[in-house]
Structure 1
Amino acid sequence: MALQRKTRSRLYQATMYVVLIGIVAWVALITDWERLGKQFFDPQVAAELFPNIIVVALKNTVLFTLIAFVGGLVLGIIFALMKLSSVTLYRWFATAWIELFRGLPALLTIFATAFMVPIGLGIKVPGGPIGAGLLGLILVASAYMAEVIRAGIQAVPKGQAEAARSLGMSPMKTMFWIILPQGFRIIIPPLTNEFVLLLKDTSLLFIAGSTLMTKELTTFARDATTMNSNATPLVMAAILYLLVTIPLTRMVAWLERKMERSR
């Protein structure tokens, strides 16, 4: 009986391989490779993108990601501590903030900070349209990071706080010198994931508007695609995104395995 199950399993796997190979072969046969190469992998169009796709678009994408990540992290720590506070008003405000910006689409938040806030409140955001767009991205990032940080703080054993308090440390010193460092060690993988998500979300900044020197990868590739009537710039942008995000996601997986072994 066991032999029959093993035979059926091997037969099933072989069938799946045959089906997959058949689908790949069928797609390869019906694809117009010459047209595909001309529209998506034109070397001449790709060469025209350099060096600006690196020194302007990719640089801006990484820079905007870092700004949004740091801003979101600072606000995230504040709102995580507020949500864990014994003061009811603080908890309510933090909960409302987190639920609001986690519930709204990031594109809508960026649109609001770029247009609705300046027009409705008469407030000029530093940095122009890109600065306003980044503010929206920071608000969204802060809501997600606040929940990640809160989870990290609550994952620290309560005995750590009790030991610090028994040594005469104040609640604030206990939080910032004992609890937060240990919490951050736990949440490094999810925070790295947030960084990767922010890197991709910078593509939403197009709605705020940009100048020639403030374009991120997606806006740069979209404009180049329109100008050349060719999709090669989009492929180039996708490759650059992957060159940045794949090492980061692999690092997250490595960190998770390392932390699992340490436990």
Structure 2
Amino acid sequence: MAKEFRNHAFWRGVMAELIGMTLFVFISITAALGSESNGADQEVKVSLAFGLAIATLAQSLGHISGAHLNPAVTLGLLTSCQISVLRAVVYIIVQVLGATMASGIVYGLQPKNNTGSLGLNKLTNISPGQAVFIELLVTFQLVLCVIATTDKKRSDVTGSAPLAIGLSVALGHLGAISYTGCGMNPARSFGPSAVMWEFEDHWVFWVGPMVGGVAAALVYDFILYPKPDHLPDRLKVLVNGQTGEYDVSSPADNRVEMTSK
């Protein structure tokens, strides 16, 4: 863990997550603010904005940080023993920080007479329990897509992984945006809440996605596509990171990234 902390590649990844999250939340919130008049066409616009933003940033930053850009994705990859505990904790911290910074920037750029909600996620005619279930399912399919398309042990994956993941984000929003605003990204939900200081039912947007991310990793690794690795070897990744990831003499780079296969 100390070796990882001292490595420049680790901190480049952290910076990439901070920049990527800031850009993602800025783009997504501005799209949502322009769509606060309800309507199916507006929901499609916001869903596409979220999906295309993730696809673009995943393509741009995947080789640096893995382009998680979502605490639920980070937790899912941690559960799958693909990243270290240190990387997961630091990534989630900077993801939340980036989302808060972006929300503050958008808030500062709004006209003084604008009383918008800053894209704040809220429940619409459903209970918190129902909302948790919705958020769990949409995040489950996203993290399942991330883990499946970035699995380096697969040789059958073709096409663009960033595009597939972006479409998964758009799909989740199309399904959930009418009910919760789609909080499948806890950091994105936290940013506006922190700036507006409104945390009503905010726990929903952490519990649902985080449980969904963990569930997706467990289902993929132990049911859908069991790994032949011995569990003790996989658990070593939680402490030391991927083998060869910080060995400058090794040509291998096992970082979990969203790239084409």
Superposition TM-score tier, normalisation by shorter sequence: under 0.3
- Report which of the two has the higher share of helix: 1
Q: Give the structure-2-normalised TM-score.
A: 0.27
Radius of gyration: which is bigger?
1
* Higher RCO structure, 1 or 2 (CA under 8 Å, sep 6+): 2
Q: Give the structure-1-normalised TM-score.
A: 0.26
